[in-house]
Structure 1
Amino acid sequence: MVFIDADACPKELKKIIEEQALAYGTSYLFVASFQHFSADADQKVWTFIDEGKEAVDLYILNHVKKGDLVITQDIGLASLVLPKGVYALSTRGKQYQEDTIDTSLAFRYLHQMERKKGRYGGGPKKLSSEDVKNFSDRLINYLARHAGKN
């Protein structure tokens, strides 16, 4: 099963996820807050969660099982699912690892402190074609290894 933290997942990646999951016969679920509700969303593969800073993360955390994949930009969520035997992949194609997640969390904290001091501005940079390729390659690799295990 693939769980997608859909609030911050770029549209082009959502399309790749759907196409590849269907090609490999893997179940997937986009999880988003009601702020991102769309009446056009297929209710079989989309679930909308109440507003709340961590509501989507908590939903995913409470529903994943060992061997599942979580796609998220949230290092904190990744750090919580990894000990459960869940794979975690960023939207830039980085596979989060248990042995390096603490370092990633420390850097996130340092960057947050710098932003509070006004030293960093703006959000994340736009996805590059290399980011999209890295993401797609890692997703396909996961799906190929886990096809039919839903």
Structure 2
Amino acid sequence: MGGGFQGAVLGRDGGAMKQMLLPFWLGLGGTLGSGIQPFPWIHVSDLAGIIAHALEPPADTPSPSAQVLNGVAPALNTNYEFTKELGRLLRRPTIFPVPGFVMNALLGSERAVVLTQGQKVIPKRTLEAGFQYKYPDLTSALKEIVGS
């Protein structure tokens, strides 16, 4: 999978969710910047599955595929959609947007740009390779993580 794009990894015990849950539980969760930017994500179980799938040789060849697979869910969500769905499942308000300058101060401008501008990524080759997602949509992934 080297060279592929990996979205924000969502899981119960770490990754991006670990940093996000506390502000949301406190009712301080909000969109990052404008919120209209793409927010590519993947459930940690699916990321592990993609890695395992990439290491399995196709039936007609003896060695693993050398193609690059993007580690993102097939759902295309914005930061606003992600924020609102997480707030809904946690039953918490999401009314406090985090301005870009705050993101720059907290994360540094290079990391903040990734979150405030986003990148639209489609897992075309991952799907073509026959990978079956356990959590292809945001609601199913977040429900598994927050236990709703």
Instruction: With the length of structure 2 as denominator, give the TM-score of the two structures.
Output: 0.26
Using CA pairs under 8 Å that are at least 6 residues apart, name the structure with larger relative contact order, 1 or 2.
2
- Bigger strand fraction: 1
Q: Highest Rg: 1 or 2? A: 2
**Structure with greater proportional helix content:** 1
